[in-house]
Structure 1
Amino acid sequence: MSRFKPADLALKNGSVWTVDGRSPLAEAIAIRGNEILAVGSAAEIEAATGPQTRVIDLAGRLVLPGFNDAHTHFVEFAARAAMMVDLYGVTSLEALQQRVREHAAAHPAAAWLLGTRWFPSRFEGGAWPSRLELDAVESQRPLAILDVDHHSCWVNSRALQELGYSAQTPDPPGGRLLRDDHGEPTGILFENAYAPIPLDANTSDNEFARLFVQEVAKANRLGLTSLSNHGTKPERLEILERMAQRGELTLRINEWQDLSSDLESARELRQRFSGNEKLRMASLKGFMDGVLSSHTAWMLEPYADAPGETGLAVVDPEELSAWVIEADRQGFQVVIHAVGDQAVRKCLNIYEQAAKIEARERRHRVEHVEVVHPQDQERFASLGVIASMMPLHCTADLEGYIKSRLGEPRGAHGYPWRDFIDRGVHLCFGTDWPAVDLLQPDPLQQIYAAVTRTPAQAQGGPAWHGEQRLTAAEAIRCYTLEAAYAERMEQRKGSLTPGKLADLCVLSRDILKCEPAEILETEVLMTVFEGEVVYRNF
């Protein structure tokens, strides 16, 4: 009697793009348990099936590895969903005030009223608003509205009082208050200036689990099977751990905790989740600067539209360097937010210093990397530093502020995807969800941005520095195998290779062959996680 154990699931009659350079294209794939059993021709997969194998006819559709969003704030967004008013898409003051008014009425017991995903660059009037517009809606309770990238915050007068800010208050370290001609705070707070606001959600464990399951289901419908996430509270990690043990977690989470001088908690979490393929924590995230939209990204030269302004470091670089060196010594992967070219250079200097102490593979990362001096691009490759980038951060606000902030010729050094790949730099893609111009963390819209370098609403228009565009195959790799490499998991996921985890998605179009505009019309029709179909729409 044969000892061969057949596949549990076989996907046939498809176009399987494996993202495995040894065998990039196949017709079918067989899965046994939670791993890929075989990838190959129809005949080869037929030989791997048995009477009990579930067979799905793909009717020629494209199969890809499950998408892996390399940079998100997914978990805490789910926790806060019920306590914050979502202002995505709101561009007028009247509409914003009405949303906030309704939210305030629905939460009469809330000590603070909170909003999120407000787009300053698209808000009517073009200038920063003031506390007075929010006072007109709510004057008794403190009100705070976070911008879409969570690097600036708009507050009312009551919030300023709660925070203790006045004309006599100096800017806090790593933060800034926008002030009027008399030095009075206007109600706009940048970076660490809004750090004291209590943003942590007081969501019950059961409510968090319910909200999180909903968000995971949405992610699965987008073809997502993995993501990296920053800032989950340890008690919520315990909830996710229990969900994973019960088989309720259909999304792999690579968690980053905060980088600081105290690594005891991080060591405990790393040990606790060691060997867990659904929930891992081996990385620490720090911040070097702010963002381009608020002129807080740290630049080598002044902003083109703000002469004399070069942004700021949100942490003392010497202090950050000490934290990184110690985290590196203890074997953690370090992940640093750096947008401006000065911030990127400082990060590379720190990583270079760590490499001189001990020679070994590290895979430290720089997140965002939106402006890079040409002299520093090669350093990513030589130091083995990963560039983690968000294509939509390039295209979504080209006209809103990116072109005006950078100017030329510096614009040629913005979002240098092609330069990185040509230099052999490991490049992965993420959304920064929810800090992005997306209703959902949709990988296909990101791939479109990487392939075209044009906003979705300007299809067919000229590409901004089109020499930096990627092919669809390269963009897919950044969203799959490179994202897995960036979390030290490329041996287990990221490509459709026998022996790897059976995480994949099926698309309605072949985005490797279609016109770029058709990528935006493409749908995810099926998602498989751990060998189980968790979403299907055909």
Structure 2
Amino acid sequence: MLEQSLFVNGHFHTNGRDRSTPAAVLVRGEKIVAMGTAEELRQHTTGKIEVIDLGGSTVIPGLTDAHIHTANLAREMAAVDLRGTANVEQALEKIRDFAAGLTPGAWIFGGRWDFNSWTVPIQPNRQALDAVTSGHPAALPSVDGHTVWANTAALRAVGITAKTPDPVGGEILRDSFGEPTGILRETAHDALSAIMHSASAGDLRGQLKSAQEFLLSVGLTGVHDFDGEECLTAYKDLQASDELKLRVYKSIPAEALEQAISEGRTTGSGTPWLRTGPVKLFSDGALGSHTCHVSEPFPGESGNLGIEVMPFDDLLRLVRRAAGAGIAVATHAIGDRANHLVLNAYEHLSNHPLEASKQTPGSRQLRHRIEHTQHLLPEDVTRLARLGVIPSMQPTHCTSDYPLVSTLLAGRNVASYAWRSLTDAGAILAFGSDAPVEGPNPLHGIHAALTRQDKNNKPDGGWQPAQRLTLSEAIAGFTSGAAHASGEEAIKGRIEPGMLADFTVLAQDPFKVCEKDVRDLPVEATVVGGKVRYRKDA
């Protein structure tokens, strides 16, 4: 007999069609079977039942992070953290202290430095890193992950010298003598990234097991993960040992596409706990690294339109290859030109259907996505909605980056973080965090979408406030919108009979507090599959 649980003394915001707010929910196995009052539901139960008193807390559908790098997050929880450093000197001091505690030969990973926010915004170099790393190889991604600061030992480990040419879609910064400075952009740091994702970074299975406890504590019941195949293997191990507590929609890296096809993986296949997601492609870089692909040069950088990481012909070929095998496509695009080209590829697929011999069941219904969708040409807002493309966006990117956007993209006719415009055009937004680039707390993202303000409630009135969303719309981005993006709207994103019993339990009702207080609402409990996976103070 399936286990039964009766959740009572709650205030449930169902996100359902009837907008009801029941006080109790009955769960059998992993699914909701009935809602109403505790008295009503008790009359319709037989056999053993566990009663869970929610103590008057507010319950919303389980929150899903629709764009996160859980392996990177898990690994960086024990790595050097350079966020918030005011200058390169502070960053180097932190690295020196971290290196002092390492065993001989260990790599130094972590990073997340942001030269744009330093008092003297100059990119660092390998010589400065050499002076504080005591011979340890060091590879430190920038805050956006699109640039890596490496020391001499790390460059030697992957064979990067003055004679190494820039790869397609990447750049090795060089000094006046042609020597690498230690700054590697986009595909130029692929070899170092491979080491960051190897056993050199520790036991990923154990790291993910610990990280999921943290993710549960901030109210997440599921994730759309965009890390590599080693992450998939670790999640499979956790699932096999019944230690997986979060639902995982696992993407396929571009380099593993052919392997995935040969194994018969298709988007949506798997179990309710671990399902195959889209293939992840890259169109451009990031704004902070000055590598996102834009239509006009960056100020003071004549000729720099960013980096087209994947030439359009290659992008189109891979989009068609994946779709023909029943795999949806999620393409990273930040700059307006990158977003335009990705939409061109998706529109080409729409206008030139795959040959019948190349189609798999469901391939025409695949939901393609653009990851980040940060800066759009105005005409591409409606085009994206018309094509049914999912704008997979991260609200806290807006509130972290608006000073940089105001400087680097000032005066351009672009729609930046255009949540309201996209929603009004009919697009269904899916929200995430891009952790560890940003913190993974979904309430921070809901607050950002609601206010267009950062943690200090700046700027006053919100940045470009016309693009704000309502609270219901902001929550939907992390619930029904995320479920739509993964093709799971029939079982996730709402609290209704027949849906999975995934809930986020909050100490206060977000609809009854000041907007500024939504960001720091305490999570009382997180329920996944009808079981309490996290409870505050438990």
* TM-score (normalizing by structure 1): 0.91
Q: Which residue number corresponds to residue 405 of structure 1?
A: 408
Aligned pairs for 1:186-335 (under 5 A) are 186-197=181-192, 198-202=195-199, 207-234=203-230, 236-260=231-255, 263-268=258-263, 270=265, 274-304=269-299, 306-335=301-330
Letter matched to residue 466 of structure 1:
P
Deviation track 1:206-232 (CA, whole Å, cap 9, x = no partner) reads x43322221111111111111011233
SS in 1 for 2:103: coil
1:55 matched to 2:51: yes
Q: Which residue number corresponds to residue 536 of structure 2?
A: 537
Q: Distance in 2 between matches of 1:139 and 1:212?
A: 29
* TM-score (normalizing by structure 2): 0.91
Partner of residue 414 from structure 1, selected from 413, 416, 438: 416
Letter matched to residue 13 of structure 1:
N
Letter matched to residue 367 of structure 1:
E
1:64 matched to 2:66: no
What's the offset of the Cα at 1:305?
5.5
Indicate conservation of the 8 Å contact 2:430/2:481, yes or no.
yes
Q: Distance in 2 between matches of 1:432 and 1:505?
A: 20
What's the offset of the Cα at 1:367?
0.3
1:159 matched to 2:154: yes
Indicate conservation of the 8 Å contact 2:111/2:142, yes or no.
yes
What's the offset of the Cα at 1:455?
1.3
Tell me, which stretches of 5 or more residues in structure 1 are unaligned?
none
Q: Distance in 1 between matches of 2:270 and 2:157?
A: 45
Aligned pairs for 1:425-440 (under 5 A) are 425-436=427-438, 438=439
Q: Which residue number corresponds to residue 358 of structure 2?
A: none
Q: Distance in 2 between matches of 1:414 and 1:204?
A: 36
Q: Distance in 1 between matches of 2:472 and 2:264?
A: 36
Deviates more, 1:344-353 or 1:7-16: 7-16
Deviates more, 1:10-19 or 1:287-296: 10-19
1:103 matched to 2:98: yes
SS in 1 for 2:365: coil
Letter matched to residue 501 of structure 1:
L
Tell me, which stretches of 5 or more residues in structure 2 are unaligned?
355-363
Q: Which residue number corresponds to residue 523 of structure 2?
A: 524
Indicate conservation of the 8 Å contact 2:266/2:326, yes or no.
no
Indicate conservation of the 8 Å contact 2:209/2:238, yes or no.
no
Q: Which residue number corresponds to residue 88 of structure 2?
A: 93
Q: Distance in 1 between matches of 2:267 and 2:283?
A: 29
SS in 2 for 1:77: helix
Deviates more, 1:522-531 or 1:133-142: 133-142
Q: Which residue number corresponds to residue 485 of structure 1?
A: 484
Letter matched to residue 148 of structure 1:
V
Deviation track 1:32-87 (CA, whole Å, cap 9, x = no partner) reads 111111123455434344574333333432111111000111034325655x4233
Letter matched to residue 407 of structure 1:
A
**Cα–Cα, structure 1 residues 283 and 262, in superposed 2: closer, same or farther, change >3 Å?**
closer
Deviates more, 1:383-392 or 1:244-253: 244-253
Indicate conservation of the 8 Å contact 2:216/2:534, yes or no.
yes
Q: Percent identity?
A: 36
What's the offset of the Cα at 1:495?
1.0
Deviation track 1:160-207 (CA, whole Å, cap 9, x = no partner) reads 4445545554422111233344544332221111112122231699x4
Partner of residue 398 from structure 2, selected from 394, 401, 409: 394
SS in 2 for 1:535: strand
1:129 matched to 2:124: yes
Q: Which residue number corresponds to residue 10 of structure 1?
A: 6
**Cα–Cα, structure 1 residues 107 and 470, in superposed 2: closer, same or farther, change >3 Å?**
same
**Cα–Cα, structure 1 residues 47 and 422, in superposed 2: closer, same or farther, change >3 Å?**
farther
**Cα–Cα, structure 1 residues 272 and 282, in superposed 2: closer, same or farther, change >3 Å?**
closer
Deviates more, 1:389-398 or 1:255-264: 255-264
**Cα–Cα, structure 1 residues 208 and 112, in superposed 2: closer, same or farther, change >3 Å?**
closer
Partner of residue 39 from structure 1, selected from 35, 48, 52: 35
Deviates more, 1:299-308 or 1:247-256: 299-308
SS in 2 for 1:393: helix
Deviates more, 1:499-508 or 1:225-234: 225-234
Deviation track 1:269-289 (CA, whole Å, cap 9, x = no partner) reads 627993411111142110000
Letter matched to residue 421 of structure 2:
D
